[in-house]
């Protein structure tokens, strides 16, 4: 959800106003996601690198996160949306952690719609931590038996499907340490639109972009078509 600061700068407003507009937009996009019947949404909310920002901006971001949770917890419950967190969120301020834990507990029984916040998240850190835990488990078997299905059980996203579609706003064309392993076969949609201005129509454009792609997963077009004809695989799946 990139571009909050530039959105504020274009309007001669403090950066925190851009983040506030970004939080408000997240609520709009959440409603649109449900209308599109997309069951999983993960938003990159705060990276480990974001601690390098000015202290007053970080403090404002934490207060905004707490505000979002207070204001929209009822909406999440009423709409049956499960909240998860990936990343080392326990290092956030205590008032944020306690509130997150309460909402996670309140929504844990829901299955149809899932919102995941990436907080204090770093994909590289996630990978290193997963390898350490995985090697410890496999030390008796030997790491030669280790495969992707084993490793992914130790990632923060072990309860989530790999992303089908990644949307990056604000004109930047990089993943910025987000789900580097999980994104191996994701379609990536880059848009110059700043996050606070990214609306429901823009979301539908991104989903349309996804449906227009032929996802090969390393296979040739001929192999894909053969599997489609035999019913082994669907040409496209819902993101």
Cα(215)–Cα(237) distance, integer angstroms: 9
Cα(239)–Cα(237) distance, integer angstroms: 6
Catalytic residue ranges: 2, 50
- For 41, the token pair is 């949404």
Query: C-alpha angle with apex 44: 238 to 216, nearest 5 degrees?
Result: 35
Cα(33)–Cα(43) distance, integer angstroms: 12
Phi, psi dihedral angles at 23 (to 5 degrees): -65, -45
Cα(116)–Cα(162) distance, integer angstroms: 13
Instruction: Specify which residues 106 forms β-bridges with.
Output: none
Cα(116)–Cα(120) distance, integer angstroms: 13
């Amino acid at each position: 959800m990139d571009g909050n600061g530039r959105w504020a700068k274009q309007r001669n407003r403090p950066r925190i106003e851009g983040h506030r507009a970004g939080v408000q937009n997240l609520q709009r996009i959440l409603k649109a996601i449900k209308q599109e019947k997309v069951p999983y949404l993960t938003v990159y909310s705060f990276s480990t690198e974001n601690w390098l920002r000015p202290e007053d901006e970080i403090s404002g971001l934490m207060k905004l996160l707490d505000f979002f949770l207070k204001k929209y917890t009822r909406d999440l419950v009423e709409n049956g949306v499960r909240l998860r967190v990936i990343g080392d969120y326990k290092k956030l301020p205590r008032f944020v952690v306690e509130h997150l834990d309460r909402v996670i507990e309140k929504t844990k029984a829901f299955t149809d719609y899932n919102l995941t916040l990436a907080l204090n998240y770093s994909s590289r850190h996630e990978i290193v931590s997963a390898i350490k835990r995985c090697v410890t488990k496999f030390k008796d078997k030997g790491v030669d038996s280790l495969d992707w299905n084993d490793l992914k059980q130790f990632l923060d996203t072990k309860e989530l499907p790999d992303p089908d579609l990644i949307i990056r706003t604000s004109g930047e064309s990089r993943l910025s340490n987000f789900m580097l392993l999980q994104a191996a076969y994701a379609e990536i949609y880059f848009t110059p639109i700043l996050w606070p201005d990214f609306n429901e129509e823009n979301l539908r454009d991104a989903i349309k972009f996804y449906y227009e792609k032929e996802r090969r997963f390393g296979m040739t077009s001929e192999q894909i078509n053969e599997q489609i004809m035999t019913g082994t695989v669907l040409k496209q799946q819902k993101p």
